[in-house]
Amino acid sequence: MENGMMLQGFSWYLPADGAHWKRLAELAPTLAHMGVSSVWMPPAYKSSEGAEGVGYAVYDPWDLGEFDQCGSVRTKYGTRDEYLAAVRALQKAGIQVLADVVLNQRFGGEECEDVLATPINPTNRNEQAGEPRQISAWTRYRFPGRADKYSDFHWDWHCFHGTDWDESTHEPGVYLFNGKHWDEDVDKSENGNYDYLMGSDVDVSEPAVEEELGRWGEWYLKTTGVDGFRLDALKHISRAFFHRWLTRLREATGKELFTVGEYWSPEVDDLEAYLGEVPMSLFDVPLHYRLFDASNSMGERDLAHVFDDTLVQREPIRAVTFVDNHDTQPNQALQSTVQDWFKPSAYMLILLREAGYPCVFFGDLFGMSNDGNIPAVAELPLLMELRQRFAFGPQNDYLDDANLIGWTREGDDAHPMSGVAVVLTDAEGGSKRMRVGARHAGSTFCCVAGFEEPDVTIDDEGFGEFSCAGGCGCAYVRKEVVSSLEHDRVLRSIDRIVRKVQEPRYEYCPISVNAAPHRTRSRKGK
């Protein structure tokens, strides 16, 4: 699909009402109309937290909400049948489905085992913090509720590198099991060796474990029919294992299986080193931090270099760009939420440019009422529509000022009236003379996102003077198409399904270079 967009189809603080799979199924036609080409669904299998778990404390990946385990049959999001129905509904609407795969850690074992283990320095996993001793570890997994359906593989301490709890002494820590060693092809820029993350750390170098995970992957694809994966916590698990695992599944299915991984590092060199020949994409974490910094810099971030040393700059074909996700939400370990006032501009920077595969966050599209009532980004459906309909053709960059930048897309013959111009600032307003191309000579462009800026007449050479008020971003399209914009109808559809209708407030808040503005929204097209 041209100008595709991924949707992260959940946020951390969704209500644990068991209705999310049904919610996504109902949303499928609306999302397709908005131009969403793939949905990353949350982990679908049983968490140790049962019906309350977001899905990253993995208990049994063979249980998709089918068995009475960890206190419930369903997961936080619904039952197995509801999950499969949501996958089919999204695919029927022309949307690919990406399954969230968490293989690094396990929680909720039914029994303890006495294991010889060495305490490890948590800040340097290459150093011992004490002498080897017997600990009691929750490492026996028998899955009695499933009773060996689909798989009769039972986990014990041999399947793990180590764990973080000694039940006999009730002491937390990092414990490396006797005869085990951390994988070498993991992140080493933090903690010496960052194989261990939390829970019982899966040893993917154990042949029986690798075979079980391979069988599970083949079963999962056959059972669910998903189109690809989002892989969790890549920096904590063997790079070579994922290469083998993906190769096996692609050969078994004969499918491309688009895969994007989470390697959480602000350093683009780390991401490039991980990618190498591994056939996948990665989330552009460095760009996220550029956007986060810009939203908190009070005008001090140099926007002219916002894309420097990002994955979308270095590897545009393999970069999945994003503004925020479930891990960057307030009160999460990686909390780095982009400030509300800058989010429309941040989404312009990923949605209205040529490079990268942008991922829209569920919380930004629908609001996060369960997390301090963080509002939806009111401009987001409109920006998604602009990407889908108008962001085509050659791109002209005007990233030449620390506080006021812009770019244009000239449009092309395949998309009538296409072409878009963007100007944005994190400080005082201004204007930029930018080329939208000779195809638009004599036409008028008007601002549809941002403050109501003056209309712009394009001269014979294809240039126009595009302005932007302080502290916001402005997107312009040809005036003839404004009446056809559908974002208000889409918003009403979303409100009906997900949240109460709230009338947008139009507040003009003058800003200075040293004061971050309130977010505003254009009244164009209302």
Tally of CB atoms within 10 A around 383: 27
SS3 string of 169-203?
Answer: CCEEEEEEECCCCCCCCCCCCCCCCCCCCCCEEEC
- Retrieve residue 402's tokens: 């620390």
Please say if 453 is a catalytic residue. no
For 283, residues 6+ apart whose C-beta sits below 8 A from its C-beta are 260, 261, 262, 263, 320, 321, 322, 325, 359
d(CA 3, CA 387): 7
d(CA 10, CA 42): 6
Crossing angle of helices 20-33/80-92, nearest 10°?
A: 0
Tokens 């254009």, residue located: 522
Closest CA to 143 of 201, 224, 63: 63
Catalytic site residue from 201, 232, 270, 453: 232
d(CA 389, CA 419): 9
Is 411 in contact with 417 (CB distance < 8 Å)?
Answer: yes
Is 10 in contact with 43 (CB distance < 8 Å)?
Answer: no
d(CA 146, CA 77): 19
Task: Report the Cα–Cα distance between both ends of the chain, in Å, rounded.
Answer: 29
List C-alpha distances in Å: 54 to 49, 100, 285, 319, 376.
Answer: 8, 11, 22, 26, 21
Catalytic site residue from 206, 262, 300, 309: 262
Please say if 262 is a catalytic residue. yes
Closest CA to 142 of 155, 125, 158: 155
- Retrieve residue 327's tokens: 């891990």
Per DSSP bridges, beta strands 430-435 and 420-425 are unpaired
- Measured in whole angstroms, the distance separating CA 168 from the mean position of its chain's CA atoms is 39
List C-alpha distances in Å: 137 to 193, 199, 208.
Answer: 22, 10, 20
d(CA 165, CA 186): 23
Maximal CA-CA distance, the chain: 81
| Catalytically active residues, by annotation | 232, 262
